[in-house]
Structure 1
């Protein structure tokens, strides 16, 4: 089983999504929350902090992160467990620092999530359940 962690950065009623490159082997040409695989010896929160810095150039404030829920996909050796986190506070301005993985990033209104092709359809409902954090 693959263990993946993703993070929801929310600001002004919008969530930051990454668009997976059409050339990606897994889930090409779909929108997703930023994140990635949890490496051996890492906690989900450690992996989340590392991935957010590698992909977006932001430093998350670990104490501001709270678990939103879990998503599951695939079966057998292709099974994926996705831990979804809300990140209440971060330092830095998100930019696409992984252009080989994502061909775009965008702030998307939470109310508009249902109209996008998403990696996990259940993600929209998880994100819509979020209270608006006070990010400065």
Structure 2
């Protein structure tokens, strides 16, 4: 976070769902080429927290909108609002680590593909900025499975901001 962002309210707040199946794979969604943020890149089911909406309610709403309603998940861990490190601290991010229990996935118009990604295959996916940091902050996979250049950049920015 930049020093200019400290003390200012965030421009926007987002809830991110990091869904893990019993095999330790993470659910990634490929953004539509028309997406405003991260077109053609892989990311997590996520979205903007609306006025008056709690982060948990947003996370549940976005998961249903983006992968359909026919699924069951349970909360493993949630991280309270963190300022982003890669966009100048303009955004507040709430992370939800979910265990996939059962169900099916039906993508909406925002995504073109989905994949359950094992840690050994993760680096072959072109992911959105911040995804490596999210996985690391939740303690899901050791750093050797992540893009360490991206992760180190994000963590250095976080340290510089005093976060």
TM-score (norm 1): 0.76
Query: Which residue in 2 is equivalent to 1:15?
Result: 26
Q: Which has the larger radius of gyration?
A: 2
> 2-side partners of 1:115 and 1:68: how far apart?
27
Once residues 29 and 60 of structure 2 are traced to their aligned partners in structure 1, the CA distance between those partners, rounded to angstroms, is: 16
Aligned to 1:74: 87
Equivalent in the alignment of 1:2? 12
Greater fraction of residues in strand: 1
State the Cα distance separating 1:88 from its structure 2 match. Answer: 2.5
**1:71, 1:14 → 2: CA distance?**
26
Task: Please list every run of 5 or more consecutive structure 1 residues that lacks an aligned counterpart in the other structure.
Answer: 132-136
Map of 1:1-136 to 2, 5 A cutoff?
1-11=11-21, 12-58=23-69, 64-68=75-79, 70=82, 72=84, 73-75=86-88, 79-90=90-101, 92-96=103-107, 98-99=108-109, 101-119=110-128, 120=130, 121-126=132-137, 129-130=139-140
Instruction: Name structure 2 gaps, 5 residues minimum.
Output: 1-10, 142-163
Secondary structure of residue in 2 paired with 1:82: strand
Root-mean-square deviation (CA), in Å? Answer: 2.5
**Equivalent residues of 2:20, 2:100 under 8 A apart:** no
For residue 124 of structure 1, report the CA deviation from its aligned partner. Answer: 4.1
Q: Does the CA contact (< 8 Å) of 2:76 and 2:99 recur in 1?
A: yes
* Distance across 1 between alignment mates of 2:44 and 2:97: 10
SS of aligned partner of 1:110: coil
CA contact under 8 A between 1:9 and 1:86: conserved in structure 2? yes
CA distance in 2, matches of 1:68, 1:114: 24
Q: 1:36 to 1:25 in 2, by over 3 A?
A: same
